[in-house]
Amino acid sequence: MKATVRAHPNIALVKYWGKRDEALILPHQSSLSLTLAPIHVTTTVEFGAAADTVELHGHAAKGSERDRVLRLLDAVRVQAGRDLGPAKVVSRGDFPMAAGLASSAAGFAALAVAGCAAAGLPEDTRASSILARRGSGSACRSVQGGFCEWQRGERADGEDSYAIQRFDAGHWADLRMVVAILDRGEKEVKSRDGMKNTVETSPYYPAWVKDAEAEVPRARELIAKKDLEALGELCERNAWRMHCTTLSADPPLSYLSPATLGLIQHLREQRKKGVPVWFTLDAGPNPVLLTTSAHEVAAEALARACGAVDVVRCVPGGDATLLTEHLF
């Protein structure tokens, strides 16, 4: 009745941006990501506790934060088909939470896998990915490591909307993602709200959906060939196009800061000088640089020269895994 799981966050190379069903968290388009190690979240779930309690990163979760976690565990209870009693959840991450490093992706993936294990359900990556998706869309891509594709699916009940691993972490072991933290502050508009506004008001949104869907198989091919230059170009193009949809929403929304643009400009200059480095950018000001092990030091220096207050160097990460040591 108790299980502990470690999961890594992931960074989307082809982004998920916009839901066709908000309750079930079903996306308009497929997306593709890389799991990031060594940073991770560890979560312990125990059923049969005295009362439902949720502690996230050292604080008792309240309100919608608590509800999101308990709702996911309710779905586990339904799958288990028996009364598991109240749940105690404790979760901790080893990286800055408000830095746009997708703490929610690692958190809900760890919660889904730990919840299933604590309930005695058999290991099932597809079922765990669907559960994680219902906590936070991008979390469905953190159940497995390496390069994962979240297939949008067609069904209204979301049973065909989950992530599958295309390549494991060992496929491209010298790929590096360098997270440049330019601003540690909480963003004003959460991804969830930003994407809703975009879907509802951007005239460019239908073009985004069509384009992103077509980029997924192209990205897959480039990853298969380990063609960093072409993949880097694809990632930048996809990030710009996602940000175009927010800029064209009503009211317009910009996640970019002057420092973000400064870094991108500098990165282009470095590339002209022969440094193989590209960027991607989620819904926040902190770019993630894509390079190889031979150039990660140069990528970190580039980030620091552009005002990064922190830099996190990442390698391709593995699957969410069960641990034998618990957090409580």
Ligand X SMILES: Nc1ncnc2c1ncn2[C@@H]1O[C@H](COP(=O)(O)OP(=O)(O)OP(=O)(O)O)[C@@H](O)[C@H]1O
Ligand Y SMILES: C[C@@](O)(CCOP(=O)(O)OP(=O)(O)O)CC(=O)O
> Which residues contact ligand X (rule: CB under 6 A)?
41, 43, 56, 65, 68-69, 91, 93, 100, 102-105, 107-108, 111, 136, 138, 190-191, 282-283
Q: If binding is defined by CB under 6 A, does position 15 make contact with ligand Y?
A: yes
58 vs 258, beta carbon nearer ligand X: 58
- In the complex, least distance from residue 150 CB atom to ligand Y, rounded to whole angstroms: 8
Q: If binding is defined by CB under 6 A, does position 4 make contact with ligand Y?
A: no
Collect all residues with Cβ–Cβ distance below 8 Å to 302 and sequence separation of at least 6: 263, 266, 267, 270, 275, 277, 289
- In the complex, least distance from residue 20 CB atom to ligand X, rounded to whole angstroms: 18
Interaction residues for ligand Y, span 56-95 (CB under 6 A): none
DSSP bridge pairs for 280: 288
Q: If binding is defined by CB under 6 A, does position 192 make contact with ligand Y?
A: yes
User: Tokens representing 188?
Assistant: 């004003």
Interaction residues for ligand Y, span 268-307 (CB under 6 A): 282-283
d(CA 262, CA 254): 15
282 vs 296, beta carbon nearer ligand X: 282
Q: If binding is defined by CB under 6 A, does position 197 make contact with ligand Y?
A: no
103 vs 161, beta carbon nearer ligand X: 103
d(CA 194, CA 252): 10
Q: How many residues bind ligand Y (CB under 6 A)?
A: 14
Which residue, 106, 109, 121, 41, is CA-closest to 76? 121
**Could you tell which of ligand Y, ligand X, none binds residue 31, using a CB distance below 5 to 8 A set by kind?**
ligand Y
Specify whether the CB–CB gap between 34 and 10 falls below 8 A.
yes
**Could you tell which of ligand X, ligand Y, none binds residue 107, using a CB distance below 5 to 8 A set by kind?**
ligand X
Which DSSP category does 126 fall into? H
**Could you tell which of ligand Y, ligand X, none binds residue 212, using a CB distance below 5 to 8 A set by kind?**
none
Taking CB under 6 A as the binding criterion, the range among 88-96, 132-140, 166-174, 226-234 that sits at the site for ligand Y is 132-140
Q: If binding is defined by CB under 6 A, does position 187 make contact with ligand Y?
A: no
Angle at 137 between CA 135 and CA 140, to 5 degrees: 85
d(CA 165, CA 225): 16
Residue number with the smallest Cβ distance to ligand Y: 137
Taking CB under 6 A as the binding criterion, the range among 1-9, 13-21, 80-88, 314-322 that sits at the site for ligand Y is 13-21
- In the complex, least distance from residue 191 CB atom to ligand Y, rounded to whole angstroms: 4
4 vs 35, beta carbon nearer ligand Y: 35
Which residue, 38, 41, 62, is CA-closest to 52? 62
d(CA 37, CA 146): 10
| Full 3-state SS string of 133-181 | HHHCHHHHHHCCCCEEEECCCCCCCCCCCCEEEEECHHHHCCEEEEEEE
95 vs 147, beta carbon nearer ligand X: 95
44 vs 198, beta carbon nearer ligand Y: 198
d(CA 147, CA 163): 10
d(CA 135, CA 111): 9
d(CA 61, CA 69): 9
21 vs 123, beta carbon nearer ligand Y: 21
Which residue, 241, 310, 250, is CA-closest to 281? 241
- In the complex, least distance from residue 241 CB atom to ligand Y, rounded to whole angstroms: 12
**Could you tell which of ligand Y, ligand X, none binds residue 25, using a CB distance below 5 to 8 A set by kind?**
ligand Y
Q: Coil, helix or strand for 105?
A: helix
Q: Which residues bind ligand Y (CB under 6 A)?
A: 12, 15-17, 25, 31, 104, 136-138, 191-192, 282-283
